Chain A
Amino acid sequence: MSAVDQPAPNGARAAAIKPIIGFRNISKRWGSMHAVDNVSLDIEPGEFFALLGPSGCGKTTLLRMLAGLEVPTEGHVLIDGQDMSDIPPNKRAVNMVFQSYAVFPHMTVADNVAYGLKIDRVPQSERDNRVQEALDLVQLGHLASRMPDQLSGGQRQRVALARALIKKPKVLLLDEPLSALDAKLREAMRFELSQLQQKVGITFIMVTHDQDEALAIASRIAVMNKGSIAQLGTPSDLYEFPASRFVADFIGSVNMFEGTLISDKPEEATVACPDLSPYVVHVPHSVAGQEESTVWVAIRPEKMSLHKDAETPPAVSKCPAAHNVAKGEIKEISYLGDISIFHVMLANGRLLRISRPNRSRWDQDDFTWGETVWVSWDGSSPVVLQS
């Protein structure tokens, strides 16, 4: 159990710090449809938290219940320890950046940003100062008098950010903040969002279906599936130690083999996967499973290596756990510049996905289509999953 279930450092922290957001057994049903199913979750102050999952997993519903735009069927939402059950959205200390940005088209940029303060009857002079401050924060100071239709998508998003942040919320909610931007801008905004979060120092909660985005920005991620949290952890927890096939598959790409747990000893476990026979998979630790039970071996593409064909499997020095090998034929090579992805077909027709960095300018010439190769991986690379 050692490597897979190492307690995440957050587990210890959560107990010490009072959470800013608490979901307590939250469920949301529409008729017989369970959008959110008994979710409990604590979010700490200062986190950049991501709710990650495929569409329809309930992540947006969870966020909207936090904002008060949906009412939970069961359970409670706590903001800063206070039960929000009877508090309407306009009385909650959270603000949201909507997926469409929802910038008011009939107001100037400055009026948009000032709206929340106007509603709160903040005096004009203070309002003007704070609007200027908020616009400067998102680098839109020079566009204050523009109308939204004169702005680009990225600029409109900044207006939405400034408009939400000006209210000094305890938590900022972001619904798919980057999905409407083009690829280059998205990269830049990822960086800017985390910069912004550090600058204003409040908790950000982001909903996204894009695992790259969540990994790149968030300090902690809840992966959701079918209305429940599949796994909670830091980006590297989720990538390196996925708890289930769903998480392993949803985050990053993975080679997954179904097999039978042959032996499970503290120092070594062995799994027989029909796809990889005649070889068995060795991992240098126990996996805490029932012997003879069905398990799944997941190996990331970058943790597998390719070797030129030879009579015998690659030497032990190249491959510490000698038997973690497979033999196949290169069917497809995707050259992506920084890395190349090889699709290797095993004897039984199963395709493996192996990525290899192109560290020298000639690396891509090492292997070619149709070549027979050995594939090997370190014994510590695979994750053995029981669900």
Chain B
Amino acid sequence: MAKQRAPLEYNRRWQMRLWLFLVFFFLYAPLMALIAFSFNNSKRNIVWQGFTLDYYRKLFNNDSLMIAFANSLTIAFLATLISLVIGTLAAVLLWRYRFPGKTAVEGAFTLPLVVPEICMGVSMLLFFTRVLPWPNDLTWPFNLGSIVIAHVSFCFPFVALVVRARLASFNKEQEEAARDLGANDWQAFRDVLIPHIRPALIAGGLLAFTLSLDDFVITFFTAGPDTITFPVKVYSMLRFSVTPEVNAASTMLILITVVLMIIMMVMQNRAQKKAKE
């Protein structure tokens, strides 16, 4: 009676199907509802009242939200750039050199990954108010400096992690070959090592970008009245009521993140195909 199944055919059992359904339902149904209700023509946003794009229109006319959005993009861009440099240098340092206290340094680099975000947020708040008060009246984008620094602190370990993993597959003879052919240290780094870790730079960069763009907790503690970011703004809108406008804003954030992720995966695939020896 019991039919033999190929190893990958277990999804034909109804229990398995039910389980899959539940997983997908609880993962994606809330997101779907969020997106669907962003088109809901109702202020109360409880019952479906008909399709409208009004709230998207409203969104784009909401200056403070747009400023927050611009802030978010700027912060993400700067934080990514700085994280890439610091993260790559950290990874190369840990990969290439042996020095006393290396394990401690390695641990310190991964600390921002494991420290609860709320603690990071509070510590940043204290740091930027007590230890190094960040002036409020700087011009754009320098007024975002404290947030950028805070974001770099939790983004660069991700870059370092990804780059380090990629470095493990680097054939050191290639760098030696470059040196042997006349390249100085910097030229060998630029011409041989950087091309090798390029896929990791893309992956790490996009990871840092999305982390920074989405971050709420740490930003919440470091943002000033004039330096609101998109997620913080969405939160403040929520405090009054869950209007479809909030839904629309969230949908936009999801969209940007998803698009970036897709770009990352495509670029990674392409790089992998190219790097295959």
Contact = CB atoms under 8 A, between A and B. Distances in A.
Contacts of B180: 67-69, 89-90, 94-96, 164
B1 interface: no
Given A90-B184, A120-B182, A102 B277 contact: no
A167 interface: yes
B173 A102 contact: yes
A88 B196 CA distance: 24
Contacts of A116: 181-182
Interface string A69-109: 10000000000000000001111001110111010111000
Interface string B184-222: 100100011001100000000000000000000000000
A189 B182 CA distance: 27
B179 A149 contact: no
A119 interface: yes
B183 A102 contact: no
A115 B179 contact: no
A119 B187 contact: yes
Interface in A96-139: 96, 98-100, 102, 104-106, 115-116, 119-120
A148 interface: yes
Given A90-B183, A96-B177, A102 B274 contact: no
Given A106-B274, A149-B277, A163 B176 contact: no
B182 A102 contact: no
B139 interface: no
A356 B69 CA distance: 87
A69 B181 CA distance: 12
Interface residues of B, number: 21
Contacts of B192: 104
Given A69-B176, A98-B173, A148-B277, A106 B195 contact: yes
B171 A100 contact: yes
B191 A89 contact: no
B178 A115 contact: yes
B198 to A, nearest CB: 8
B contact patch SS: helix
Nearest to A175: B173
A67 B175 CA distance: 13
Contacts of A95: 180-181
Contacts of B184: 88, 90
A348 B39 CA distance: 99
Nearest to A113: B181
Contacts of A167: 181-182
B277 A163 contact: no
A104 B184 CA distance: 16
Contacts of B62: none
Contact of A102 (B174, B191, B195, B275): B174
B276 interface: yes
A98 B176 contact: yes
Contact of B176 (A94, A102, A160, A164): A102
Nearest to A99: B173
Interface in A273-330: none
Given A90-B184, A148-B277, A102 B179 contact: no
Nearest to A115: B181
Given A105-B275, A106-B196, A106-B274, A69 B179 contact: yes
A165 to B, nearest CB: 11
Contacts of A68: 179-180
A124 to B, nearest CB: 17
Nearest to B188: A90
A160 B180 CA distance: 12
B182 A90 contact: yes
A105 B175 CA distance: 12
Nearest to A67: B180
A163 B183 CA distance: 13
Given A104-B178, A119-B187, 7 more contacts: A67-B180, A89-B179, A96-B176, A104-B177, A104-B192, A115-B178, A163-B181
Interface of B: 171, 173-174, 176-184, 187, 191-192, 195-196, 274-277
Interface of A: 67-69, 88-91, 94-96, 98-100, 102, 104-106, 115-116, 119-120, 148-149, 160, 163-164, 167
* 6 interchain residue pairs of minimum CB distance: A116-B181, A102-B177, A102-B173, A119-B182, A106-B195, A98-B173
